[in-house]
Chain A
Amino acid sequence: MLNVKDIDVYYGDYQVLHGLTFSIGKGEVVSLVGSNASGKTTLINTLSGILKPKRGEIEFQGKRLDQMETHQIVEAGLIQIPEGRLLFPNMTVLDNLLMGAYSKRARAKVAESLERVYKLLPILEERKKQMAGTFSGGQQQMLAIARGLMSDPDLLIFDEPSMGLSPLLVQEMFQMIEDIKKEGVTILLVEQNVHKALSLADHGYVLQNGVIVMRGTGEELLNNQDLKKAYLGEL
């Protein structure tokens, strides 16, 4: 479904990603793990077209994404739930959700999508008139996910969804990701919570200094001794 071929990405003169190649199959959950500044967010911002690769190709459902504008990429069904949620704080919950369905592809299904996210997260329906900025951190993350679902994603990218959440909420959120997977949405999960992310994943990639240093099924990576030492500590 998504094929990334040998991309180089720069911030000005500084090269962040070096010849990255990976792919995601339809219906899969793929986890991308790595420490701070390993290039995870750079990678997904490149997928979303906010950054452009200097070299290489990104192909998604048969279309070349690497030269498209962000809004065209959204229209193609690649949706990102950004790090730090980036809600519209001075808009109501409902308006935030409606903005999620801004693209043409999503607007056609807006009533159906609303019903779906209200079922998944009834609190959003109860508080639809409330300003998003007044929500707690956990509620904001749920709203951000719901807003992403409103976009009618074929591939849904989560950037650090567990950031700033309490352990209980992290649990709840990963449960939600699993539910979304069951609906047939393909998922790319970018996480610092390596253990959780890999236990959920069909495939995983480990990113270090802009290079993929390890790849395998979620289980293989979880059992990998080097990875255990580097990220998981002694379990």
Chain B
Amino acid sequence: MQLIIQIAISGLLMGGIYSMVSMGLSLIYGVTGIVNFAHGEFLMVAMFLTWGLNSLLGLDPYISVILVVPLMFLIGMLVEKTVIEPIIKAPHSMQIMATAGLSTVLANGALMLMSANYRSVITGYSSKTLNMAGIMFNVPKLVGFFAAVALTVLLALFLKRTYTGRAITATAQDMKAAQLMGINIKRIYLIAFGLGTACVGVAGVVLMPMYYVFPSLGTYFCTTAFVIVVLGGMGNIYGAFVGGLVIGMVEAFSGYLLAPVYKEVVYFVIFIIILIVKPSGILGRSGRAA
């Protein structure tokens, strides 16, 4: 029993990280309709930033959040302005080429600049664990999980309580109506893309003390994030949060019951089942109707 709880907890904590990556992806899709294939590479960039700030300035990864997140927000807006805005009304095939192309550019750019080496940030708390009633909590994972919860709450409050947040929600629900309310949707796309990218920034920061960064890291997280976004309902950030936790648990249990190498097989089977049984995802879609 103890073991089952331990596996569930580990899965849940890792799931929190997945949630943060996926929420950004879901937010961007929900508002702009763009499926961002470069999302995983944004995570890679955020982790390299965290690593860089640590190795150059000696900044603790958790402290670097105050720099990394705003930087990622700006990078997201820059990408939106230069890559996304020109193709926002283009056919899906063209949009896919643009974001997939961006993903290749970022991954190979990183390879060129940083080489293919794995890099990590070792901190005093990297391998610390808390023992509560015999259940082990890995400290960085615990921090990651609480960061995910906090991020979800903050994002929800922002979307519900502020004028800009409500304008983002409104744009996701009906773009034409949003325009007719006087919402500058170009600006909303810019902000939504920046926010989605900033979410990955938080994920990158909390991942850095427990994981390593390398140029092709994006691919792995991106596929996982896509499974989660579909699982939770495309465009639904709460769905992405729940979906992330589910996939984290699935991964932990399949690793234990089968073998760690099979975990991807298991969640892709789940992915396919969801696409067949409930393509709108467990929480349905709250974003764009299409």
Contact = CB atoms under 8 A, between A and B. Distances in A.
A91 B167 contact: no
Nearest to B286: A90
Interface stretch (A21-29, A55-63, A99-107): A99-107
Interface residues of B, number: 18
Given A98-B166, A99-B167, A89 B173 contact: yes
B182 interface: yes
Contacts of A82: 176-177, 180
A71 B182 contact: yes
B166 A80 contact: no
A91 B181 contact: no
Given A75-B182, A102-B182, A95 B177 contact: no
Contacts, number: 64
A95 B173 CA distance: 13
Given A50-B176, A82-B176, A87-B177, A103 B182 contact: yes
A86 B177 CA distance: 6
Which of B163, B170, B177 has its CB near the most chain A CB atoms (within 10 A)?
A: B177
A89 B287 CA distance: 10
B170 A88 contact: yes
B85 interface: no
Contacts of B184: 69, 71
Contacts of B174: 86-88
Contacts of B178: 99
A224 B250 CA distance: 73
7 contacts: A71-B185, A74-B181, A82-B177, A86-B174, A88-B170, A99-B170, A102-B182
Interface of A: 48, 50, 69-71, 74-75, 79-80, 82, 86-91, 95, 98-100, 102-103, 106-107, 147, 151
